[in-house]
A = this chain, B = another copy of it.
Amino acid sequence: MPLLDFRSDNVGAVAPQIMAAVMHVNTGTADGYGRDPLTKSLAQTYARAFDADVTVFPVATGTAANAVALSVLTPPWGAVLCHPTAHIHASECGAPEFFTAGAKLIPVPGPQGRIDPDALRQVLDGAGRNQPHRVQPAVLSLTQPTDLGTVYSLDVLATLCAMARDYGLRVHMDGARLANAVATLDCSLADVTWRCGVDILSFGVTKNGGMSADAIIAFDRRLAGPLTFRLRRAGQTFSKMRYAAAQLAAYVDADLYRHLASGANARARCLADGLVGAGVPLVAPVEANEIFCQLSPSTVRQLETVALFHRHANDVVRFVCRWDSDEADADTLVRAVARYGAAGVSS
């Protein structure tokens, strides 16, 4: 019997609607590098999805989306402010530094994966504005949901973005799992992005049922030119773009992203409730599709005989639920945990 798989959302399959869209475009010829009709129509498709005039750039990975997006917002002597746990800071092998020609990432702390507004103000006030020996804060990067599986409220998002703007910074959102946040907040894509003050978005598709395409969504038209050249030069402009465009179009068609993410969130909710019921302490509230919780080393070892999951740090593990996670898996996992004893019990 295969192990229960809670490793990540990127271990999951491609959603049937998206696979169907890919197969559907596989007929006849279409111009390359985004000049095909489907890719051209993405602007309209996404304008509807985001209720705004946007430019859309398919890219191969979330890392590319993040790093290229940042590179059009900061000069090389700029600083990108982000949470210490941010993927751009901790898990992209320095991609932002590479694409920005050496900008600096400055961590801004806050509980539960969220940047604290007071901490942000403190960093901004101490950053040495206009002092030539200091890198100059240029971008605030917000991860929604955060890297601890929590979600910023729209109010806090707006507060952070307004503060960034006051200090002359632009705002990037790493939305590798944005659909999961949108499902939680029960808001629109517009609400959680440009209406809060976001200038550019890394829009995740792959983790939530896509195959090999994420997107940069720019809410400021002046960014389109620099993005076009930077992406080409980064080897991120697919020649057979129609296959990426098909994924992106299907993803927002009939709110597929929301449908898939709601399922994942619901399964995570169930699993979290079960774990808490079994006495497992959560590290952060479960507000999307990821669960960070404490388990004793012995429980972890035993659990590894029935399930795959990520050891986050010391006695903290992560379980991720996907659009295609089996509903029964959560129950099975909870029962196993109960059997082996939760963290508070055995440690």
Contact = CB atoms under 8 A, between A and B. Distances in A.
A135 B239 CA distance: 18
Interface string A204-223: 00110011110000000000
Nearest to A239: B10
A240 B10 CA distance: 6
Given A26-B13, A212-B243, A234-B235, A31 B7 contact: yes
Interface in A287-333: none
Nearest to A27: B13
A97, A136, A233, A237: most-surrounded residue (chain B CB, <10 A): A233
Contacts of A100: 102
Contacts of A66: 235
A104 B210 CA distance: 31
Given A75-B226, A93-B132, A132-B93, A61 B14 contact: no
A98 B100 CA distance: 10
Oligomer: number of copies: 4
A272 interface: no
Interface in A65-112: 65-68, 75-77, 90-95, 97-98, 100-105
B211 A95 contact: no
A2 B30 CA distance: 11
A132 B33 contact: yes
A188 interface: no
Specify the main secondary structure of chain A where it touches its partner. Answer: loop
A154 interface: no
Interface residues of A, number: 74
Given A10-B239, A28-B2, A94-B102, A132 B244 contact: no
Interface in A100-158: 100-105, 132-136
A13 B28 contact: yes
Contacts of A232: 63, 77, 92-93, 95, 132-133
10 contacts: A5-B29, A7-B32, A13-B29, A14-B243, A63-B232, A76-B101, A92-B232, A93-B233, A133-B232, A211-B243
Query: 8 smallest A-B Cβ distances: which pairs?
Result: A64-B235, A97-B102, A60-B60, A10-B239, A63-B235, A77-B229, A101-B101, A10-B32
B133 A234 contact: no
Interface string A234-249: 1111111001100000
Contacts of A237: 61, 63, 132
A237 B65 CA distance: 12
Contacts of A5: 29
A182 interface: no
Contacts of A26: 13-14, 19
